[in-house]
């Protein structure tokens, strides 16, 4: 038996199909330009592998940072109430809507040499801007909201009742967090982390502004492709396809229904 | 462990005081929204009252400038939903309390196993909560609450979410495990109060309207709410051949709790007035329980009429019928009637 629903107006399928085409057609267009004969060669060149490796490494570290900072943030937002919480939540989500290049400039004038904390960092012998740390920082900046939003949704829908029962059974807050809260929101946590990883992997604007594009140090895959598209379009297309493949894998991991996102 | 609780929560318009002596089970009866759950939340330390105190065995847990965290109170909470941790097996759920107190894994599991046995679900130890029926899950939840070795046990309508058919058995189990414990039981089922509680506190609109020993409150209700829910019919007798045989010869069949009574046990059959059908002639060929009685008085009761009748031996019973039926049956004091009750509406307990 098929579930009958209230019928949709027929015309609604036209813009829906157009929208789907807008998303899918460029992928087809790109795939059609791939030089399959030299594909493997193109994506395994030294500089390509260096960029890919740098991207994976920095994105992974950024995801870990997101977990380390984002889980507590989500907990504070979901499980406490304080004055101005709404404002704090909006500000935390700012990087979601901010143009990444603006984020990069903000980071530069905070952690850069002449930035807000530049002198202090300099005194400690730390030079953040235009280093691999800057890449990680930029990636963390843009992907943190993905984890926080995803996890806060999971925490809210899981509710606090299991935690209350756990406390009444004598579990300290840390035990409740470890043995009840975390396992209950694990699916949301995983999909949030995967989304953060994907966002970090695709990060471009903030990275190029704050970290620059130095091969082996800050030139991640998106930056590499951007550089390559003029001098070697074939290689750029091939590497783009690799990123598409990674993105598809990520979506398969964090598909809707696993979390509120 | 004796409990003294006194709480005012303005936002929910609650102002109640409650006491439970060491080893006593106090039932808190009241309609929905009366403030019963607020009271439990205050006791458990999940809600801080505007003013008030919670004192357990002479030690202040909530009070002016005093706040003991929920986990340090040793007050276990059993809610309507079992709320078993879905990622842990039954056994690990029950072992959660001991583990949280610092008991090592192996002894904690042994304790958990014996508590599961105590509530009759030892065979479900390895099941995940998702594979348990409602009644089984609530039994595991009872074991989990007891395994935490609480000084006070709070039960929030523990049977409300369960199938009617499994309630008597769980009630019987609770009766056994709650004996000698200090318990606050929130319920709107008067049967729970009758069979589990030593004292009853009736709460309505955030205030205590009645309090006293269970039988006093339920037989001589003074508030409208109590009057509506009380008035349960009870037939005492001996257990013979699968039925309650009253001294006057009436035989009442019903649902028993495990383990079934043995022949000769003193038992009581309990049923609600609204489960009784009233006839002027014995209904022919009916498998129902029938009791002969004479109408003693009629009392309007919402949109119904409560018919009180006495058996030949003077035992008083009540039935709720519509005013139309009252007229059609020509029910007046002195009229002979037959009360008929489906066996599935009768709960039988050992006393």
Nearest to B71 among A162, A170, A183 (CB): A170
pLDDT at A136 > cutoff 90: yes
Query: What average pLDDT does range B319-348 have in this prediction?
Result: 89
Interface residue of A168, A174, A187, A189 to substitute, partner B, most B CBs within 10 Å? A168
Which residues in chain B have Cβ-Cβ distances shorter than 8 Å to A81?
none
Residue, of B130 and B316, whose pLDDT is higher: B130
ipTM of the complex model: 0.79
**Structural domain A38-253, CATH architecture:** Orthogonal Bundle (1.10)
Query: What are the phi and psi torsion angles at A82 (to 5°)?
Result: -145, 165
pLDDT in the model for residue A99: 94
pLDDT at B65 > cutoff 50: yes
State which residues form the domain around B327: 233-350
Same domain for B92 and B10: yes
pLDDT at B123 > cutoff 70: yes
Nearest to A169 among B76, B81, B154 (CB): B76
- Whether B146 and chain A come into contact, CB under 8 Å, resolves to no
Domain extent listing, chain A: 38-253
Question: What is the per-residue pLDDT across B296-307, written as a single tens digit (0 to 9) for each?
Answer: 988 887 788 889
CA pair distance B30, B33, nearest whole angstrom: 8
pLDDT in the model for residue A255: 63
Interface residue of B68, B85, B115, B144 to substitute, partner A, most A CBs within 10 Å? B85
Instruction: Answer whether B83 sits within 8 Å of A165, measured CB to CB.
Output: yes
Instruction: Answer whether B85 sits within 8 Å of A166, measured CB to CB.
Output: yes
Same domain for B222 and B272: no
In B, minimum Cα distance to A170 occurs at B71
Indicate the residue among B199, B229, B259 that finishes a domain: B229
CA pair distance B7, B41, nearest whole angstrom: 11
Same domain for B188 and B79: yes
CATH code of the domain in which B219 resides: 3.40.50.300
Nearest to A168 among B44, B81, B86 (CB): B44
Question: What is the per-residue pLDDT across A159-198, written as a single tens digit (0 to 9) for each?
Answer: 899 999 999 999 999 999 999 999 999 989 998 999 899 9
Total tally of structural domains belonging to chain B: 2
Instruction: Answer whether A169 sits within 8 Å of B144, measured CB to CB.
Output: yes
Same domain for B140 and B219: yes
Question: What is the per-residue pLDDT across A227-261, written as a single tens digit (0 to 9) for each?
Answer: 998 888 888 999 999 888 888 888 787 665 544 43
Same domain for B49 and B145: yes
* Confidence band, pLDDT 50/70/90 cuts, at residue A2: low
pLDDT in the model for residue B106: 95
Q: How far is A157 from chain B (nearest CA, A)?
A: 15
Same domain for B108 and B121: yes
Of B11, B18, B19, the closest CA to residue B47 belongs to B11
Cα-based distances in Å from B303 to B274, B277, B321, B341: 12, 16, 9, 21
In B, minimum Cα distance to A184 occurs at B87
pLDDT at A122 > cutoff 90: no
Tokens of B238: 């001996």
- The model's pTM is 0.78
CA pair distance A18, B181, nearest whole angstrom: 68
Query: What average pLDDT does range B128-139 have in this prediction?
Result: 94
Same domain for B339 and B198: no
pLDDT in the model for residue A260: 41
In B, minimum Cα distance to A181 occurs at B85
Indicate the residue among B179, B203, B229 that finishes a domain: B229
Query: What average pLDDT does range B340-346 have in this prediction?
Result: 88
Same domain for B196 and B108: yes
Which residues in chain A have Cβ-Cβ distances shorter than 8 Å to B154?
168
* CB of B57 closer than 8 Å to CB of B227: no
Which residues in chain B have Cβ-Cβ distances shorter than 8 Å to A180?
85
* B336-341 and B289-301 beta bridge pairing: antiparallel
pLDDT in the model for residue B286: 66
pLDDT, mean over chain A: 90
* Confidence band, pLDDT 50/70/90 cuts, at residue A98: very high
pLDDT in the model for residue B224: 66
* Confidence band, pLDDT 50/70/90 cuts, at residue A127: confident
Q: How far is B70 from chain A (nearest CA, A)?
A: 6
pLDDT in the model for residue A261: 38
* CB of B16 closer than 8 Å to CB of B35: yes
- Whether A2 and chain B come into contact, CB under 8 Å, resolves to no
- Whether B44 and chain A come into contact, CB under 8 Å, resolves to yes
Same domain for B203 and B276: no
* Confidence band, pLDDT 50/70/90 cuts, at residue B95: very high
- Preceding omega of A107 cis (within 30 degrees of 0): no
CB proximity list for A29: less than 8 A, separation 6 or greater: none
Same domain for B110 and B63: yes
Same domain for B290 and B214: no
pLDDT at B191 > cutoff 90: no
pLDDT at B232 > cutoff 60: yes
Residue, of B2 and A7, whose pLDDT is higher: B2
Annotate chain B with three-state secondary structure.
Answer: CCEEEEEEEHHHCEEEEEEECCCCEEEEECCCCCCHHHHHHHHHCCCCCCEEEEEECCEEEEECCEECCHHHCCEEEECCCCCCCCCCCHHHHHHHHHHHCCCCHHHHHHHHHHHHHHCCCHHHCCCCHHHCCHHHHHHHHHHHHHHCCCCEEEEECCCCCCCHHHHHHHHHHHHHHHCCCCEEEEECCHHHHHHHCCEEEEEECCEEEEEEEHHHHHHCCCCHHHHHHCCCEEEEEEEECCEEECCCCCEECCEECCCCCCCCCEEEEEECHHHEEEECCCCCCCCCEEEEEEEEEEEEECCEEEEEEECCCCCEEEEEEEHHHHHHCCCCCCCEEEEEECHHHCEEEEC
B223 sits in the region (left: phi over 0; alpha: psi -120 to 50; else beta) called beta
Instruction: Answer whether A167 sits within 8 Å of B75, measured CB to CB.
Output: no
CATH code of the domain in which B271 resides: 2.40.50.100
Interface residue of A154, A158, A161, A170 to substitute, partner B, most B CBs within 10 Å? A170
Q: How far is B77 from chain A (nearest CA, A)?
A: 6
pLDDT, mean over chain B: 88
Same domain for B88 and B223: yes
Query: What average pLDDT does range A68-96 have in this prediction?
Result: 92
- Whether B34 and chain A come into contact, CB under 8 Å, resolves to no
Question: What is the per-residue pLDDT across B252-301, written as a single tens digit (0 to 9) for each?
Answer: 888 886 667 888 888 888 888 888 999 988 887 667 888 999 999 888 87
CB proximity list for A22: less than 8 A, separation 6 or greater: none
Which residues in chain B have Cβ-Cβ distances shorter than 8 Å to A158?
none
pLDDT in the model for residue A43: 87
Maximum Cα–Cα distance across chain A: 72
- Whether A178 and chain B come into contact, CB under 8 Å, resolves to no
In A, minimum Cα distance to B46 occurs at A164
Instruction: Answer whether B87 sits within 8 Å of A184, measured CB to CB.
Output: yes
- Whether A174 and chain B come into contact, CB under 8 Å, resolves to no
Indicate the residue among B167, B195, B229 that finishes a domain: B229
pLDDT at B227 > cutoff 80: no
């Amino acid at each position: 038996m098929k579930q009958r629903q209230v019928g949709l107006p027929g015309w609604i399928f036209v813009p829906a199909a157009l929208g789907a085409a807008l998303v899918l057609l460029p992928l087809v267009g790109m795939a059609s330009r791939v030089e399959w004969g030299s594909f493997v060669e193109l994506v395994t060149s030294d500089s390509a592998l260096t960029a890919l490796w740098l991207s994976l490494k920095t994105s992974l570290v950024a995801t870990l940072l997101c977990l380390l900072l984002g889980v507590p943030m989500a907990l504070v937002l979901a499980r406490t109430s304080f004055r101005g919480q709404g404002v704090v939540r909006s500000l935390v989500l700012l990087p979601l809507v901010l143009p990444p290049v603006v984020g990069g400039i903000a980071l530069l004038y905070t952690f850069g040499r002449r930035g807000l904390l530049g002198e202090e960092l300099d005194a400690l012998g730390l030079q953040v801007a235009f280093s691999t740390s800057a890449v990680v920082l930029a990636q963390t900046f843009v992907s943190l909201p993905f984890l926080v939003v995803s996890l806060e949704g999971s925490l809210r829908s899981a509710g606090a009742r299991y935690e209350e029962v756990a406390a009444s059974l004598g579990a300290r807050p840390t035990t409740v967090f470890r043995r009840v809260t975390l396992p209950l929101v694990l699916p949301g946590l995983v999909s949030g982390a995967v989304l953060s990883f994907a966002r970090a992997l695709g990060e471009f604007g903030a990275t190029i502004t704050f970290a620059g594009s130095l091969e082996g140090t800050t030139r991640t895959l998106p930056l590499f492709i951007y550089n390559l598209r003029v001098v070697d379009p074939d290689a750029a297309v091939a590497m783009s396809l690799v990123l598409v493949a990674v993105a598809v894998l990520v979506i398969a991991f964090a598909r809707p229904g696993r979390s509120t996102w | 462990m004796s409990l003294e609780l006194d709480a005012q929560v303005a936002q929910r318009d609650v102002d109640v005081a409650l006491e439970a002596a060491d080893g006593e089970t106090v039932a808190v009866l009241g309609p929905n929204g009366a403030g019963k759950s607020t009271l439990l939340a205050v006791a458990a330390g999940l809600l801080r009252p505007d003013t008030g105190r919670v004192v357990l065995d002479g030690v202040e847990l909530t009070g002016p400038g005093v706040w003991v965290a929920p986990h340090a109170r040793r007050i276990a909470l059993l809610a309507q939903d079992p709320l078993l941790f879905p990622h842990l097996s039954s056994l690990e759920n029950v072992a959660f309390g001991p583990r949280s107190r610092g008991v090592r894994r192996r002894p904690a599991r042994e304790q958990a196993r014996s508590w599961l046995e105590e509530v009759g679900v030892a065979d479900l130890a390895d099941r995940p909560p998702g594979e348990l029926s409602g009644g089984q899950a609530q039994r595991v939840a009872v074991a989990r609450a007891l395994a935490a070795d609480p000084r006070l046990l709070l039960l929030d309508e523990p049977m409300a979410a369960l199938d009617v058919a499994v309630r008597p058995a769980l009630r019987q189990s609770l009766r056994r495990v709650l004996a000698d414990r200090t318990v606050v039981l929130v319920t709107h089922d008067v049967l729970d109060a009758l069979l589990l509680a030593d004292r009853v506190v009736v709460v309505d609109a955030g205030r205590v309207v009645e309090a006293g020993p269970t039988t006093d409150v339920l037989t001589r209700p003074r508030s409208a709410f109590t009057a509506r829910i009380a008035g349960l019919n009870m037939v005492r007798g001996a257990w013979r051949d699968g039925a309650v045989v009253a001294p006057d010869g009436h035989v009442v069949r019903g649902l028993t709790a495990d383990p079934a009574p043995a022949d000769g046990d003193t038992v009581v059959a309990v049923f609600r007035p609204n489960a009784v059908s009233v006839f002027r002639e014995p209904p022919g060929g009916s498998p129902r329980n029938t009791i002969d009685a004479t109408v003693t008085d009629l009392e309007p009761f919402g949109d119904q009429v409560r018919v009180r009748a006495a058996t030949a031996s003077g035992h008083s019973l009540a039935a709720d019928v519509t005013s139309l039926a009252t007229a059609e049956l020509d029910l007046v004091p002195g009229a002979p009637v037959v009360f008929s009750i489906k066996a599935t509406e009768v709960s039988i307990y050992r006393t």
